[in-house]
Amino acid sequence: MNIKLLEATDVASGTFSLLLLTTVAATVLLLMGTAWVSRKWKLPLAMAAMVTLVSAGHYFEASQVWQASNQMPAIYRYVAWFITMPLQVMVMYFFVNAMAPLSTWLFWRLMVASVVMVLARYLGEANLMYPTLGFLIGLACWLYVLGEVFFGRMAEVSARSSNFSVHRGYFWMRLIISIGWAVYPLCYFIVGFAGGVSPGKLSVVYNLSDLVNQVAFCLTVLSASIRDSGNTR
């Protein structure tokens, strides 16, 4: 296997390596964490570990593609996002469900919206549908998910919770999928409608965004569940 030595100024390649190591470490920590928390938190924590595990697999492949070509075709990212983004929405669902039961109908609405959000953006970016239509459908689905987590049943359950650790954990997860996830449609708009950006700069932005939007998101679940488990012992 040919190994390409990284230059000190090759920030893009460095971020690929950073995300690979960080997501692997986060996966190990999250899986270990399932033994530290009470039973009700094991499912959302295991699902959070799946998010970082899929991301680690993506960055292992993506780092090799980038070093070989200095390109990152959109298909690589969207394959990972097609799994991780809906999983993250489901992590929030089961996180809140651990506090009070949520409806199955809400589960399926969130699942469909999150899947369509990623799929529409991919089809638009790959020119398999009109880019504007893909952007608008993806944006509408994202706003629907935000509406549920900010104003729907999930928000009600979180607001009624007297557990500060759980309430704060939900706050940070909600903040990440609103402000953090805004990077993705913004980059889509820049690439598709505003003249684009160099592959290296785009990769740095996406990689560092994933560091917050995936790793920090999942570690928030771990922190909240450990604090709650400690308070109930």
Counts for the chain of helices (H) and strands (E), in that order: 10, 0
More confidently predicted of 166 and 137: 137
Concatenated DSSP letters for 33-57?
Answer: HTTTS-GGGHHHHHHHHHHHHHHHH
pLDDT at 1 over 50: no
Domain parsing of the chain, residue ranges: 11-232
Q: Give the HSE-up count for residue 48: Cα atoms under 13 Å, Cβ half-sphere.
A: 33
pLDDT at 215 over 90: yes
Is it true that domain 11-232 has CATH number 3.40.50.300?
A: no
User: 7-47: per-residue pLDDT in tens?
Assistant: 666 899 999 999 999 999 999 999 999 999 999 999 999 99
pTM: 0.93
CA distance 90 to 78: 18
pLDDT at 218 over 80: yes
* Predicted pLDDT at 3: 59
AA identity, residue 81? W
Query: 25 near 219, Cβ under 8 Å?
Result: no
Burial class (CB in 10 A: 0-12, 13-18, 19+), 37: buried
Query: 222 near 63, Cβ under 8 Å?
Result: no
